[in-house]
Amino acid sequence: MAEFSSPAAREKAFEVARKAFEEQQWSAASSAFQTLYQDQQTPELNRYLVMSLFRDQQYLAAEQIAAEQDQIYLANESLFNLRLAVALKNQQFIFAREFCELVGARDWREAGLEKIQQTEREAEQSLAATQKTIAKQFYHLGDVSFAEQRQRLERAKQLPLATFMKGVQYLLVDPFLHPLIRATLLEELLRLKVDTSVQLHWLDDQTYTIATKDLRPVGASQSAQAIQNYLQLELGQNDPVLAANLQQTVTLQLMMLYPFIDKVITQPVLWAQAVGGIAPSGVDSEKLKEIMVWQQRLNRYLAELFGPLSGENTEKPKNE
């Protein structure tokens, strides 16, 4: 964290940085704004720093800083184009498309998508070998650990949409893919606003046809909302520590059950109580037993994230 001896010293440092910016001394400007930004992460400093880094051809650093405050780049067309240019310099094609689909980008969406398509075509020529390697690793996510699956998915966002979609459609029916990765892929389709049908191998070992236009965010399910209300308004008032601890586990469970959360969780409060080991009263024992069966199934997948619960090898998830 940078420290300034006084507000006046900080203001002087800002004027020095801005002077370097105006004189197009991009290296000096980026260094100066970096120091200021470490002290205060304001939208104004984020924009100055990203522009300086971009002009200094420090594209990866520009991407990392811009990603901290993506929403501020929807304020006007110039900022939108800057954010898009930064993403495209880093071959972040999937993010770029999702950025264009945001409500705030509607006025510049068409032109933005044209830029993305053009850059994708160029990359398919200049980065053919790299993209082939990324695609090959992406299509075989189920062969590696959860941590590696996440890393490969992040790299896959550098693929053109058509190549990315081929991988997604293949992976959604892979029984060895971790449910959290499967849910993440579905959320990508939701953010991309693609209108297609995909096959989905789900936790019950059945395959379903999903219309992507019908997908809704995880938190939009009735059960998810009911659980959040219980954790925040009821349990949170009586035992805030337990409520906070349950929040992480329940959030992961909801992700793993996506997009059939309401199909499984028919009694949201009882579900949350079962997760927390809270003894309910006057409950149908068969319903509680059914919930516990699901808890055991989901806990095996959670063990892959936090380590085996009993020394069991959990690299490949089991299916009921």
Rounded mean pLDDT for each run of 10 residues along the chain, 320 residues in total? 78 96 98 96 98 98 98 98 98 98 97 98 95 95 90 96 96 94 96 96 96 94 95 90 92 96 94 87 80 93 68 37
Cα 272 from Cα 20, distance rounded (Å)? 56
Asked if residues 160 and 93 have their Cβ atoms less than 8 Å apart, the reply is yes
Q: Which of 63, 18, 16, 27 shows the shortest CA–CA distance to 45?
A: 18
What does the pLDDT read at residue 57? 98
User: What's the pTM?
Assistant: 0.88
What does the pLDDT read at residue 280? 74
Is the domain covering 7-126 a CATH 1.25.40.10 domain? yes
What does the pLDDT read at residue 96? 98
Cα 297 from Cα 204, distance rounded (Å)? 10
Q: Which of 121, 126, 119, 122 shows the shortest CA–CA distance to 100?
A: 119
What does the pLDDT read at residue 50? 98
What does the pLDDT read at residue 307? 58
What does the pLDDT read at residue 277? 87
36-50 in b/e form (b: 16+ CB < 10 A) is bbeeeeeeebbbbbb
Cα 105 from Cα 259, distance rounded (Å)? 27
Specify the amino acid at residue 276. G
Question: What's phi and psi for 284, nearest 5 deg?
Answer: -60, 120
DSSP string, the chain: ----SSHHHHHHHHHHHHHHHHTT-HHHHHHHHHHHHHH---HHHHHHHHHHHHHTT-HHHHHHHHGGGGGGGGSSHHHHHHHHHHHHHTT-HHHHHHHHTSGGGGGGHHHHHHHHHHHHHHHHHHTHHHHHHHHHHHHTGGGS-HHHHHHHHHHHTTS-HHHHHHHHHHHTT-TTS-HHHHHHHHHHHHHHT---EEEEE-TTS-EEEEEGGG---GGGSHHHHHHHHIIIIIIHHH-HHHHHHHHHHHHHHHHHHTT-HHHH-SSHHHHHHHHHT---SS--HHHHHHHHHHHHHHHHHHHHHH--SSS---SS----
What does the pLDDT read at residue 316? 37
Residue-range domain boundaries for the chain: 7-126, 128-215, 219-306
Cα 135 from Cα 145, distance rounded (Å)? 17
Start-to-end C-alpha separation, the chain? 50
Burial grade of 143 (CB within 10 A; 0-12, 13-18, 19 or more): middle
